[in-house]
Chains A and B, each alone.
Chain A
């Protein structure tokens, strides 16, 4: 229990960074986690090919919200190629915990939303 709700995870949940939405974002996507109904939306603005601003919104458990909050910080300054290279392991490293298969879907939801947004970016 303690390990799952480590200080920095609770901190991100209680004081989320970069919460909100962006008008005219370059990357924008929203997805649900069917396991528990969590919803995460991510808006990302690019400047000079790098992430200049990122916002998240939605509702969900501590793990999914903290993961979203951390991700908005993690991706700042990254290029699109660097965003595409993000792996599940990067999220677990960010969270600093290992998750079982059920909770992993909570923790990975924000990354999945980003990946969905990146796929759309490619289509346009």
Chain B
């Protein structure tokens, strides 16, 4: 298969039923994709089709529907593993979302491996989901939580990483792409340096897997987490990739049905990977839906999505620069994802978002679950437009017009 490097958002829009709807009398311009993405028809149909024709609980039934549902669920695992080039399907664990995936690591690997005086390294640009679990762990075991600095331009200061790595570091947990700045961090470099310091590495890939080609084998990280709903898939399903040899050593996270091998009155033993970490009935239909999403994205070409978003982000930065009083944050030159956070002088982001909603333009306003980053940059709150494969330049123009309207209004 040849890699597609361009896409036509206008053609692709037709695949997303919701994009045809109106909001306040205007065609929806959905620019809140970093929060969650819309779903193409093939994903909606995959969910409906699965429930209509193949649904049953998995792994335990011998009847036909259970065999079919189990096949569909396990094939979804294989398809998703291939999409991110996971070296081993046993390391691909279905979770609810990125947050649950990171909590899984914090509560199992973390409690077993991080002790008093150990250091956990995060960065100043983390989403709360890759921050609060480590705060809790650090407080519980008496470890130190240290932050890699963010430069004024919105990039990681790798010198501060090197400095922190000189200490007793057990784990480096960092985001691949900032959900506020759009910065794409040099993941391979960070992972290699951390491994050289004998630390384990967790990558929060919630904002990278949907938008650019991610190759877990090439990254060589120990853990990597992402969410289905941010990549055209259903809510309620996400993925943790973990190195099988680490997962084997880790105690279970949630326990109960589905993850056991043998249960006695006083103790139990655990099922093989990946099922050891999938207690209870999982999000079966949602996993099947995520597999359809991955199939869809592969058809469009993730390279093409990446190129399209870079172009839109560059266009948005250029247009925003023309508007007096608007300040974009994050790297202003290349190497960033389709996420543009900005402030508008004397207009609170919530008020701006409200005015834009009146124009049918959906953006996000607030801290975007990254309060320490806002504090670092000295910002109260920001507005954020984030793009995906179905967004157009025309929608960026509507964003700019909406901002100007808000400026006139207030």
Contact = CB atoms under 8 A, between A and B. Distances in A.
B70 A32 contact: no
Given A34-B271, A35-B59, A35-B60, A100 B262 contact: no
Contacts of B58: 102
A114 to B, nearest CB: 15
Nearest to B72: A101
Interface in B15-72: 58-62, 66-68, 70-71
Interface string B191-203: 0000000000000
A17 interface: no
Nearest to A103: B62
Contacts of B7: none
B261 A102 contact: no
Contact of B59 (A31, A32, A37, A102): A102
Contacts of B62: 102-103
Nearest to A106: B62
A100 B260 contact: no
Nearest to B261: A34
B74 interface: yes
Given A34-B271, A35-B59, A35-B60, A102 B260 contact: no
Contact of B262 (A32, A101, A102, A103): A32
Contact of B70 (A34, A37, A102): A102
Interface string A93-113: 000000011110000000000
A71 B61 CA distance: 25
B59 A100 contact: no
Contacts, number: 31
Given A32-B262, A34-B260, A101 B74 contact: yes
Contacts of A35: 59-60
Q: Which of B68, B70, B275 has the most CB of A within 10 A?
A: B70
A34 B67 CA distance: 16
Contact of B61 (A31, A32, A34, A102): A102
Interface string A21-45: 0000000000110111100000000
B55 to A, nearest CB: 15
Nearest to A37: B262
B94 to A, nearest CB: 15
A34 B71 contact: no
Contact of B60 (A31, A32, A102): A102
Nearest to B260: A34
Contact of B67 (A36, A37, A101): A101
Contacts of B261: 31-32, 34
Nearest to B71: A101
Q: Which of A36, A101, A103 has the most CB of B within 10 A?
A: A101
Interface string B63-105: 0001110110010000000000000000000000000000000
Contacts of B68: 100
A103 B67 contact: yes
Given A36-B60, A101-B71, A102-B62, 18 more contacts: A32-B262, A34-B260, A34-B261, A34-B262, A34-B275, A37-B262, A100-B67, A100-B68, A100-B71, A101-B70, A102-B58, A102-B59, A102-B60, A102-B66, A102-B67, A102-B70, A103-B62, A103-B67
8 contacts: A34-B261, A35-B59, A35-B60, A36-B60, A100-B67, A100-B68, A101-B59, A103-B67
* For the complex of A and B, 6 pairs with smallest distance between CB atoms: A100-B67, A101-B70, A34-B261, A34-B271, A32-B262, A102-B70
